[in-house]
Amino acid sequence: MKASQFLISTLKEAPADAEVVSHRLMTRAGMIKKLGAGIYTYMPMGLRVIRKVEAIVREEMNRAGAVELLMPVVQPAEYWQETGRWEKMGPELMRVKDRHERDYIIQPTSEEVVTDVARQELRSYKQLPRNFYHVQTKFRDERRPRFGVMRSREFIMKDAYSFDRDAASAKASYQVMAQAYRRIFDRFGLTYRAVAADSGAIGGDLSEEFQVIAATGEDAIVYCPESDYAANMEKAEALAPRKPRGSATAALTKTPTPGKSTCREVAELLKVPLDTTVKSLVLATDELSAKGEVVGTQVWLLLVRGDHDMNEIKVGKVPGLDNGFRFATNAEIVEHFGTKPGYLGPIDLKKPVRVVADREVAVMSDWICGANEEDFHFTGVNWGRDLPEPEAVADLRNIVEGDLSPDGKGVLAIERGIEVGHVFYLGTKYSQPMNAVYLDESGKPQPMEMGCYGIGITRLPAAAIEQNHDERGIIWPDAIAPFTVVVCPIGMDRSAEVRAAAERLHDELLEAGVDVMLDDRGERPGAMFADWELIGVPHRVVISDRGLKEGQLEYQHRRDAAATKVPAGEMLAFVK
Ligand code: ATP
Ligand code: MG
Ligand code: MG
Ligand code: MG
């Protein structure tokens, strides 16, 4: 592929709503483009990653004996009425009407449709077991779409469904899938954990989530470093008796000390300019004059949007207030933090406050926080990591951290994860209401035993970035990189030798089956390198006149600190 024919659209700035690094980098690298809330176009560069994820998933699903079909995105409501999910599912289920006022849904998964296929096609025990899967667009009207394609409303999922004659055989099919998932996530080259999840009443313990470990994960994982015990939040809570809650200062990791500060100091501590928007942060500051002199007393700098959401709060002071922001009233502060008016003392948080800067804030310690008392606040407050723990995670710490693990082999620890896959034994939950039966050896109809198995195809690249990036951009694992090698010629338009060498290497690599990109845009080296470091192509070859004179090309891995000289004739073998 040649850059001049492709679309490379890198950005200097990340969008203001990008809270996590994967969202920032995918947007800046030109991989995704937002169309609406939780709705994204997968741009050419991003689609290449998605296709690689899909290819690995397909290979392993096929290897495990699953067969691919493709079920509709828009599904008639009647199938969902058969299983009762039409009524049971809340607003996450997108319902639409056609021109005849008939009801349809946009599929969030496909249990109903696949069960309908099975009840028509699988009639005898001789046809079982069977596993059908597809890779298809899903829509879930998520309450809070965020983090780009990590939690979007429209996304791509691989969902597989197994059909078996009895529970024992269904459980064996489940194990085949659980194994295939391990192979898949191993191949992506990510650090992940398979954790026991709650399968409700049906499946006993036959439900596992595959969680990519990341500090920004929305899920909590409870695990025992001394054994293979690992469970998700709901599962762990069910196992452990609830401890009484502490003094509800969950988000504070250090006892704050009362002190004084100005909003300038606050901004310096945050390493952000005055008037940077952050979210859900409570600060004290001084009244400033237009010239920036301190003229008044300290006040709460708790700014909330008109909708009471406590979501957006500004660092800084009155000048430059964004539209839609205002100071919180004392009553709101009292309500949110559970303090009395005029309260003096540690902030007793009713809920952990989530601190999210809209840009990278390296140090999240020693914040200055206000109390709703004039001239009184706290310094030295530590709020944890740059994306604070979701409430549920903080709750979990309170409940199980440090307890003996259920297998008795050690003490429980907690980490955060991104759910990228889920395997689930369903029993007859769908086959029963939909009357999906097969005839057994004696000709008797029996309900099929089912399992379902999902992978978040478009969530996966985001999870990979959360684990693999640096200050310059993404560092893709080879398996899912949009291009494996980028060839960067320097002065290609001036030097016929450079052009010829670059094109030759590009063609040879293509011939050898390597996913190569030749950057023939004629960019200056600095800008060209910055683009590819942002995009995260793992291997780079630089071709220059000076190097060619010595018969050398330069190779550098995205993680290397410096380039390695490689004789021009050996580069193909070197990067292949
Ligand atoms: P979550 O707990 O994150 O909401 P889920 O448990 O609702 O996910 P499943 O029904 O198990 O999701 O779907 C299978 C997979 O689809 C998930 O493991 C996840 O990787 C992916 N997925 C689910 N919801 C989304 C979403 N809104 N955006 C992107 N991927 C998603
Ligand atoms: Mg969900
Ligand atoms: Mg989940
Ligand atoms: Mg799930």
- Block residue for tokens 């237009």: 290
pLDDT at site 355 = 32
List, in sequence order, every residue forming a beta bridge with 34; answer none if it has no partner: 40
The pLDDT of residue 23: 96
Residue nearest to atom 27 of ligand 1 (CA): 151
| Strand-pair partners of 439 | 124, 445
C-beta 454 within 6 A of ligand 1: yes
Tell me which of 136 and 416 has the higher pLDDT.
136
Which amino acid does the sequence have at 120? Answer: Q
pLDDT, tens digit (0-9, with 9 covering 90-100), for 209-267: 999 999 888 888 888 888 889 998 777 766 654 443 322 222 223 333 333 344 444 44
pLDDT at 487 exceeding the cut of 50: yes
Give buried/exposed letters for 23-36 (b at 16+ CB in 10 A, else e): bbbbbbbbbbebee
**pLDDT > 80? residue 269:** no
Q: Pick 389 or 138 by higher pLDDT.
A: 138
> Is a pLDDT exceeding 80 seen at residue 106?
yes
Express as a percent the part of the chain with pLDDT over 90: 61
pLDDT, greater one: 390 or 202: 390
317 lines ligand 1 (CB under 6 A): no
* Cα dihedral 56, 59, 64, 70 sign: positive
Band the pLDDT of 291: cuts 50, 70, 90: low
Average the pLDDT over 423-447 and give the result: 97
Among 219, 294, 291, which residue's Cα sits nearest to residue 263?
A: 294
DSSP, collapsed to helix, strand or coil, labels residue 403 as: coil
* Closest atom of ligand 1 relative to the 418 alpha carbon: 3
Counting ligands in written order, which one lies closest to the CA of residue 232? 3
Q: What is the pLDDT of residue 281?
A: 38
- Report CA torsion sign: 271, 277, 283, 288: positive
Q: Is the ipTM of this complex over 0.90?
A: yes
State whether the beta carbon of 214 lies less than 6 angstroms from ligand 1: no
Q: Which residues of 161-193 are buried (b: 16+ CB within 10 A; e: fewer)?
A: bbbbbeeebbbebbebbbebbbebbebbebebb
Q: What is the pLDDT of residue 405?
A: 83
Give distance in angstroms: CA of 222 to centre of ligand 2. Answer: 19
Which H or E run includes 279? strand 277-279
Contact 485, 532 (CB under 8 A): no
Nearest alpha-carbon partner for 31 in 441, 468, 481: 481
**420 Cβ inside 6 Å of ligand 1:** yes
Nearest CA owner, ligand 1 atom 28:
151
Gap between the Cα atoms of 79 and 16, Å rounded: 41
294: left (phi over 0), alpha (psi -120 to 50) or beta: beta
Q: Which atom belonging to ligand 1 lies closest to the Cα atom of 109?
A: 10
DSSP letter for 507, please.
H
Residues 291, 365 contacting (CB under 8 angstroms): no
> Which of 69-83, 102-116, 400-414 has the lowest average pLDDT?
400-414
Ligand 2 centroid–CA 308 distance in Å is 25
pLDDT in the model for residue 414 = 86
Residue 382 pLDDT > 70: no
* Lowest model confidence (mean pLDDT) among 141-145, 426-430, 514-518, 553-557: 141-145
pLDDT (mean) for 428-444: 97
* CB 251 within 8 Å of CB 387: no
Query: How remote is the CA of residue 186 from the centroid of ligand 2, in Å?
Result: 24
pLDDT at 117 over 50: yes
Structure tokens at 432: 């029963």
* 401: confidence class by pLDDT, cuts 50, 70, 90: confident
* pLDDT surpassing 70 at residue 347: no
> pLDDT per residue over 5-54, tens digit each?
999 999 998 887 788 899 999 999 999 999 999 999 999 999 999 999 99
256: which residues sit within 8 A by CB, 6+ positions away?
346, 347, 369, 378, 379, 380, 381
pLDDT at 228: 86
Q: What is the mean pLDDT of the chain?
A: 79
198: Cβ contacts below 8 Å, ≥ 6 apart: 207, 232, 234, 235, 238
pLDDT at site 392:
64
Contact 306, 324 (CB under 8 A): yes
| Mean pLDDT computed over 390-409 | 75
What's the 422 CA to ligand 1 centre distance in angstroms? 8
The CA distance from 92 to 110, in Å, is 15
Dist. CA 420 → ligand 4 center (Å): 8
Helices 167-188 and 44-63, packing angle to 10 deg: 140
Pocket test for ligand 1, best of 193, 422, 452 (most atoms within 8 A of CB): 422
Cβ(408)–Cβ(399) below 8 Å = no
575: CA distance to ligand 2 center in Å?
Answer: 41
Backbone angles phi and psi of 408, in degrees to 5 = 70, 10
Residue 323: band (very low, low, confident or very high) from pLDDT cuts 50, 70, 90? very low
> What are the tens digits of pLDDT across the range 292-313?
554 433 323 333 222 223 333 3
Q: How far apart are CA 337 and CA 420, in angstroms?
A: 34
Ranking 191-205, 257-271, 443-457 by mean pLDDT, the lowest is 257-271
Alpha helices in 64-130 (DSSP H): 77-83, 85-88, 111-121
Q: Is residue 522 very low, low, confident or very high in pLDDT (cuts 50, 70, 90)? A: very high
pLDDT of residue 353: 34
pLDDT of residue 110: 98
* pLDDT the model gives residue 236: 74
Residue type, 430: Y
**Cα dihedral sign for 71, 73, 74, 79?**
positive
At 398, is the pLDDT very low, low, confident or very high (cuts 50, 70, 90)?
Answer: low
Determine the distance separating the centroid of ligand 3 and the alpha carbon of 419, expressed in angstroms.
6
Task: Please state, in angstroms and as integers, the Cα–Cα distance from residue 178 to each residue in 133, 194, 332, 424, following that order.
Answer: 15, 9, 48, 9
Residue 155 beta carbon below 6 angstroms from any ligand 1 atom? yes
- Identify which of 401, 21, 23 has the alpha carbon closest to the alpha carbon of residue 215: 21
Question: Quick one: which ligand is closest to 421's CA?
Answer: 1
Please check whether residue 366 is in contact with residue 266, taking contact to mean a CB–CB distance below 8 angstroms. Answer: no
Strand partners, 154: 139
Please indicate whether residue 421, judged by its CB atom, sits closer than 6 Å to ligand 1: yes
Q: How confident is the model at residue 337 (pLDDT cuts 50, 70, 90)?
A: low
Say which range, 76-85, 90-99, 161-170, 233-242, has the weakest mean pLDDT: 233-242
Rounded to whole angstroms, the Cα distance separating 455 from 55 reads 13
Residue type, 528: M
Pick from 57, 134, 142, 459 the residue to mutate for probing ligand 1's pocket: most ligand atoms within 8 Å of its CB: 459
Q: 155 C-alpha vs ligand 1 centroid, how far in Å?
A: 9
Sequence-distant (6+) residues with CB within 8 A of 252 are 346, 347, 349, 381, 382, 383
Mean predicted confidence (pLDDT) in 424-446: 97
